Amino acid sequence: MKKLVNIILLIAVIYYASRLIYYMECQDLPKVAIPKDRKAIVVGATSGIGRQVAKELAKEGYTVGLIGRRLSLLNSLKKEIPTKTYIKQLDVSKMDATRDDLKAFIKEMGGLDLMFISVTAQGDIGAMKSTAKLGWEQVKKLVEVDVNGFWVCAHVAIKQFENQGYGHLAGVSSILKINGAIAAPEYSGAKAFVGRYLDGIRNRMMKNKMPIYVTEVIPRPVDVERQKYSDEKDLFWVTTKEDAAKQIVQAIRHKRKDVYISRRWRLIAWLMTVTPDWLYRKVFP
Ligand SMILES: NC(=O)c1ccc[n+]([C@@H]2O[C@H](COP(=O)([O-])OP(=O)(O)OC[C@H]3O[C@@H](n4cnc5c(N)ncnc54)[C@H](OP(=O)(O)O)[C@@H]3O)[C@@H](O)[C@H]2O)c1
């Protein structure tokens, strides 16, 4: 028992030391005056985590740009938000058009301070117990939205931030990025891409001493319109989208490197990281 406590203490010390080092690195970055009228774009604002985060950002005073394909939901969200909002109907899987449209949208909004990307094709392809049972078009869609769509939005944001010399990119991955998920290798692969890509951009910005912050949001089950995870017997520690959005916006405010939704999932993430493949295969379906 004492050994276990010591191991947990050691992990906690390493974790807090790395957070402190990251905080000190951030303090070394050049300071820029943040404009009073901050502008954020939320990609995937029509439903789920993105919709709720858009509302929270508006509460923080951001002017928000809302992006998704379902125009009626963009319009209904616009009505719910008291601050200035812009909307853009976009299918992010169409990469070249998305690049051009996003650049024009940023111009229309008069700049960009924060880009929050919360997209997945899961709503289109249905409850995803196993991608092995999905057809070519469905799995292709997952890759086109969760990898390509994510990347093109992040890329446009980073180019904008590099040109203006500051900014904040936040993107949603998943705890399923840690191990190669048996049921959905394409999904866990897509989320591993998101996580690694954000790490790489953060490393590049820190190395180049640019005050461009990158936050990775790593959720486990969050109840959303397309799926009520709290109704599923084998799932635990399910978060509401309202709580998730509050935690995400708090992490963005503090320029955190990453945030688990909810926070206690970090413990499980540590366990998953040290779980050997043979044990993972035994435990997970
Ligand atoms: N909820 C969870 O438990 C959970 C857990 C781990 C990770 N995540 C991750 O969290 C993020 C948000 O998920 P969510 O649960 O909030 O899902 P959601 O409610 O289904 O939201 C997905 C959003 O993506 C947008 N989208 C999908 N395809 C698009 C396309 N081709 N072009 C533009 N927008 C598109 C949808 O808008 P339109 O359909 O209107 O286009 C919607 O606004 C995703 O990255 C997901 O993988 C969620």
How does DSSP assign 136-199, residue by residue? HHHHHHHHIIIIIIHHHHHHHHHHHHHHHT-EEEEEE--GGGTTT-SS-HHHHHHHHHHHHHHH
Q: Which pLDDT tens digit goes with each residue over 52-68?
A: 999 999 999 999 999 99
What class is the 39-283 domain? alpha beta
Closest Cα to atom 20 of ligand 1: 123
Among 47, 141, 215, 239, name the best residue to mutate to test ligand 1's pocket (greatest count of ligand atoms within 8 A of Cβ).
47
Per-domain residue ranges for the chain?
Answer: 39-283
- Average pLDDT over the chain reads 94
Please report the beta strands in 60-153, taking only residues with DSSP state E, as ranges in sequence order: 63-68, 85-89, 114-117
**How many angstroms is it from 19 CA to the middle of ligand 1?**
29
Q: Which pLDDT tens digit goes with each residue over 71-111?
A: 999 999 999 998 899 999 999 999 999 999 999 999 999 99
**How many angstroms is it from 36 CA to the middle of ligand 1?**
30
